[in-house]
Structure 1
Amino acid sequence: MRRVVQFSTGNVGQHSLRALIGRPDFELVGVHAANPDKVGRDAAELCGLAGPTGVLATDDIDSLIALEPDCVVYTALGETRPMEAIDQMARFLAAGINVVGTSMVWLVTPRQIDDWLREPLENACAAGDSSLYVNGIDPGYSGDTAVLAALSLATRAQSVTVQEVFDYGNYDDYEYTGKAMGFGTTADDEPAMAFQPGVITTMFGGLVRNIAHHLGAELDDVTQRFEPWYTDRRIECKMMTVEPGGLAGVRFAAEGVRDGTALVTVEHTTRLTPAAAPDWEYPPDGHSGVHKVIVEGEPRVEMNTLLSHPVLDVTEAGCVSTAARVVNVIDWVCRAPAGIIAVEDIPPAEMVRGLVW
């Protein structure tokens, strides 16, 4: 049985915490919470379970290290505080504790990351003889596992497109996602953080380059594009209320270009409620979100991933799947050689061990 610690209990962390508590092959020994209101509360309470676990949340990293867990599930938001997140993960790794996580999306393609990010984490892995694996659903599954599956069905590929087409109206994350994408801002405002020059290629360019690498294809450049959509009427949803003239839809992409043509495209179409951006692509009927891979080639391949849940909205179901991508490989990561792990290093069957319980 693997001893595990959950680090953060936010949109993704609450779901990985529920999984860790439920799985018979894991023993939850610790929970980290940065929010003072969560410190001291039982792990079950923090993820909506009834029966107490006896494991209380703490903000003391040293006390979690002292528990000597086999693995830490790191789901704390790191993209807005990268140096702090690197330091936190490195402390566990240097202490000989493996880390799996959904934070720091650049690490989804570890062979494409810059030295400032890779070196401190590699050094920590070497010091502690430990392993680090970061993945999710997007970035993550849609741009690696689904792409490789789709490409395996073609004898020749002319182009590859990875798409997320989602209604974020019911995603309760205005403080990060809403602000980062600039929902509610007007055409007269400065572009939001996510759409400043170079940000899209920084966040998603690694996925583009990684797909091209697997194809054995040289790219001339990785570029970005961004298209806003402003509403002419009031839009109300769980994330926020957008007044007329406010941003309620965005379409953006990172594109790997060769000979003037996009060879690899990673594109997002994000709207707040179906009323936004009516001329843009929608998910298939009856769904509010889809992750899609399209291979133009011999033959043309289109692979759609549709998530659903009897209680949760599709965006929250996506958070469950994001958590699953790391929780399900804890045992393999604990057995892996020291270092930073890429998804292609992991045998696919190891991602589904122990799921029936």
Structure 2
Amino acid sequence: MSLRVIQFATGNVGRHALRSIINRPGLELVGVHASSPEKVGRDAAELSGLETPTGIVATNDLEALLALKADCVVYTSQAETRPQAALADITAFLAAGTNVVATSLVWLVYPPHADAWLREPIEAACAAGGSTMYVNGIDPGFSGDLLPLAALSLTERADEILVQEIFDYGSYEDAEFTGASFGFGAPPDVVPTLFLPGVLASIWGGPVRLLADQLGVQIEELRERHETWTATRTITCAMMTVEPGQVAAARFAVEGFVRGRPAIVMEHVNRLTSQAAPEWPFPPEGRPGVHRVVIKGVPGVEINTHVGGGRIDHNEAGVIATAAKAVNAIPAVCAASPGLTHLSELPVAQAHGLMS
């Protein structure tokens, strides 16, 4: 019997998730939420770039979607700037007995690390509805949990773990959220959202603690570091235009200290052109981006993961991969025990492929 699924939001990630749900054997799309008036009333196929109508049209009526009693909702609505509204949406579904897989509220990639204001209402809703919630994506998510855990499975002893996203974001058309969050296009003395005290640790501290817990070590301290690089010439890219003196690259990290040294580190190096910040780390030659894990230990292990290729841009591929992480998890989440869950509590084999 197919699992009945609702897609909540049809933006950058949501439209790919919607397409995947429609095309996936074993899943039945029963509802779509859209907040913008121009999307309400349109068929799900049109919103996801497919040609054959599904008969399922987008609505902004939350109560109507709750009444569907679906098995799962895929929640991809941008939530980090509207956490209370997103929390209200999600807890309503959970309390009604509908499981949630999400790419939003990234603080919950590893729930034991999340603050009580977020974790406790969701746990209460899961208990009331006998439902389960899981948050993941490509980063935070895959690059900081599944990828390093795979590398660690090859080690006799791990001394240091470095997880990196090194990406040229120039082709990513998201100046409003990603660009502003990273401070791209702003003067270097303007502090963007990500660099406010505690924000980096709230997002990437969870994956640091997940790895520490898997290794049985205690994180003594989480430290944040960040720096920016300003353009020396005008940069025009899909995300925005950056003038000389404005930020065109950002590097930041969350470091988990064990025995007085940074033993588990989650680092980002993001540019708006390959010419930016020439002294910072780059992906392997010929690649515009990489998710990398480097483990120092016995033996040392390095894994470089690339998304995209062919006609698919690496940034678009990252968005598709984020959607896939959520959709692929639906069967495992629906079969899991009620509550807030995370990768180490679910089957690793969350995979689906269609041979053409």
1:214–1:290: structure 2 CA closer, same or farther, 3 Å change rule?
same
- Equivalent AA in structure 1 for residue 34 of structure 2: A
- Equivalent AA in structure 2 for residue 12 of structure 1: V
SS of 1:352 mapped into structure 2:
coil
- Equivalent AA in structure 1 for residue 313 of structure 2: D
Contact residue 228 and residue 250 of structure 2 kept, 8 A: yes
How far does the alpha carbon of each residue in 1:189-224 deviate from its partner, in whole angstroms, 9 at most, with x for none? 321111112211122111112211111112221000
**Aligned-pair CA distance for 1:355:** 5.0
Q: TM-score, normalised by structure 2?
A: 0.97
Q: Which runs of at least 4 in structure 1 moved beyond 2 Å after TM superposition?
A: 309-312, 353-357
Partner of 1:21: 22
The answer to whether residue 176 in structure 2 is matched with residue 179 in structure 1 is no
Compare 309-318 and 63-72 and name the one that shifted more.
Answer: 309-318
CA distance in structure 1 between the aligned counterparts of 2:325 and 2:130, rounded to whole angstroms = 23
Contact residue 200 and residue 253 of structure 1 kept, 8 A: yes
Compare 103-112 and 209-218 and name the one that shifted more.
Answer: 209-218
CA distance in structure 2 between the aligned counterparts of 1:111 and 1:193, rounded to whole angstroms = 23
The answer to whether residue 239 in structure 2 is matched with residue 239 in structure 1 is yes
SS of 1:162 mapped into structure 2:
strand
Superposed, 1:1-12 pairs within 5 Å as: 1-12=2-13
1:247–1:283: structure 2 CA closer, same or farther, 3 Å change rule?
same
The answer to whether residue 351 in structure 2 is matched with residue 352 in structure 1 is yes
Partner of 2:320: 320
Partner of 1:127: 128
**Aligned-pair CA distance for 1:84:** 1.0
Contact residue 163 and residue 268 of structure 1 kept, 8 A: yes
CA distance in structure 2 between the aligned counterparts of 1:292 and 1:355, rounded to whole angstroms = 27
SS of 2:264 mapped into structure 1:
strand
**Aligned-pair CA distance for 1:96:** 0.7
Contact residue 332 and residue 347 of structure 2 kept, 8 A: no
Superposed, 1:17-96 pairs within 5 Å as: 17-96=18-97
- Equivalent AA in structure 1 for residue 206 of structure 2: G
CA distance in structure 1 between the aligned counterparts of 2:353 and 2:226, rounded to whole angstroms = 42
- Equivalent AA in structure 2 for residue 352 of structure 1: A
CA distance in structure 1 between the aligned counterparts of 2:354 and 2:96, rounded to whole angstroms = 29
**Aligned-pair CA distance for 1:356:** 4.9
Compare 213-222 and 315-324 and name the one that shifted more.
Answer: 213-222
Partner of 1:148: 149
**Aligned-pair CA distance for 1:352:** 1.6
- Equivalent AA in structure 1 for residue 268 of structure 2: H
Give the number of equivalent residue pairs: 355
**Aligned-pair CA distance for 1:68:** 1.7
Contact residue 183 and residue 190 of structure 2 kept, 8 A: no
Partner of 1:253: 253
Partner of 1:198: 198
Pairwise CA RMSD: 1.2
How far does the alpha carbon of each residue in 1:298-349 deviate from its partner, in whole angstroms, 9 at most, with x for none? 1110011111143321011011111111111211211211111111111122
Contact residue 25 and residue 354 of structure 1 kept, 8 A: no
1:71–1:355: structure 2 CA closer, same or farther, 3 Å change rule?
farther
- Equivalent AA in structure 1 for residue 285 of structure 2: D
Superposed, 1:224-303 pairs within 5 Å as: 224-303=224-303
Q: TM-score, normalised by structure 1?
A: 0.97
- Which consecutive residues of structure 2, in runs of 5 or more, have no partner in the other structure? none
SS of 1:282 mapped into structure 2:
coil
Partner of 1:208: 208
Contact residue 89 and residue 99 of structure 1 kept, 8 A: yes
CA distance in structure 1 between the aligned counterparts of 2:300 and 2:12, rounded to whole angstroms = 36
CA distance in structure 1 between the aligned counterparts of 2:353 and 2:250, rounded to whole angstroms = 39
Partner of 1:221: 221
CA distance in structure 2 between the aligned counterparts of 1:227 and 1:63, rounded to whole angstroms = 46
1:29–1:309: structure 2 CA closer, same or farther, 3 Å change rule?
farther
